[in-house]
Amino acid sequence: MEYIDPQQARDMPGLRLVLTAGVPGPWSEAAKAVFQVKGVDFVPVRQVGGQENAELRAWTGRDNAPIAIQGDEPPRDGWADILSLAERLAPKPGLVPEDLVLRAQMFGLAHLICGPGGFAWERRHQLFGPIMAMGPAGREAVGRMAGKYAWSEEASAAAPARVAAILRHLADQLSAQAERGSPWFVGDEMTAVDLYWATFCAMLEPLPEEQCPMPTMLRQGYLLDDPAIRSERDAILLDHRDRIYREVLPPPDF
């Protein structure tokens, strides 16, 4: 992916998408996926994970990723706001169900994957635990992010049980759907939550190295290898991710 700097992107027209450069960050990959599926072009803008990102902050008032900036509109940095923007820019294919029961279900599941207290949020709390415990070197590496995302030792200790519960709920949902003959998380068509799971599944088990080369340290950190959390039920979650990357999404490019 060819990134441009915030300073340069600021005055460009159209959609600019700020992404964490050099890592397949699930939130960034998810935002990209939504626009890619809809065929909406964007200018990729560089965010450097865990750093100050002063130029970005001067432009958008934010320093993390993803952020979608359409023309002169206010920057959007939440997954749901980014999805709404994508739906407006390209209504087809729709990724948000018309049916209200399905829509509520879709946003609920997406929140369990992407939102505060969700799968990736809790995985991040878990992942930062041993790094913060390393002392000054660890704090140097992730201290800024730990502060930004409300990490604490308590949050880190509570995370495994929360991660496990969410994974079981997502697996239950896919199993129930399979029983009623649908290969999607909700209803009978692909929605945003299918893309979110495909991209966020990296924090359960990254895609194989051939498909998604990434630094070994990051791969080890993303992999959830706690036997108390892993379960044979993960297979349905991994299969779903694999199918989305086989049939819908290009391999991550970061």
Ligand X SMILES: N[C@@H](CCC(=O)N[C@@H](CS)C(=O)NCC(=O)O)C(=O)O
Q: Rule CB under 6 A: which residues touch ligand X?
A: 20, 25, 27, 49-50, 64-65, 77-79, 114, 145, 148
Between CA 253 and CA 239 the distance in angstroms is 21
| Smaller CB separation from ligand X, 55 or 242 | 55
Name the residue with the smallest CB distance to ligand X.
64
The answer for residues whose C-beta is within 8 angstroms of residue 179's C-beta and 6 or more apart is none
170 or 171: whose CB is closer to ligand X?
Answer: 170
Q: Which residue's CB is nearer to ligand X, number 76 or number 241?
A: 76
**Shortest distance, position 80 Cβ to ligand X, whole Å:** 8
| Nearer Cβ to ligand X (146/237) | 146
Least distance in Å: CB of 122 to ligand X? 12
For the stretch 234-238, contacts whose Cβ atoms lie closer than 8 Å and that sit 24 or more positions apart, written own/partner, are 234/167, 234/171, 234/204, 234/205, 236/171, 236/174, 236/175, 236/178, 237/167, 237/170, 237/171, 237/174, 237/197, 237/201, 237/204, 238/201, 238/204, 238/205
Q: Shortest approach of ligand X to residue 183 CB, angstroms?
A: 26
Distance of closest approach, residue 50 Cβ to ligand X, in angstroms: 5
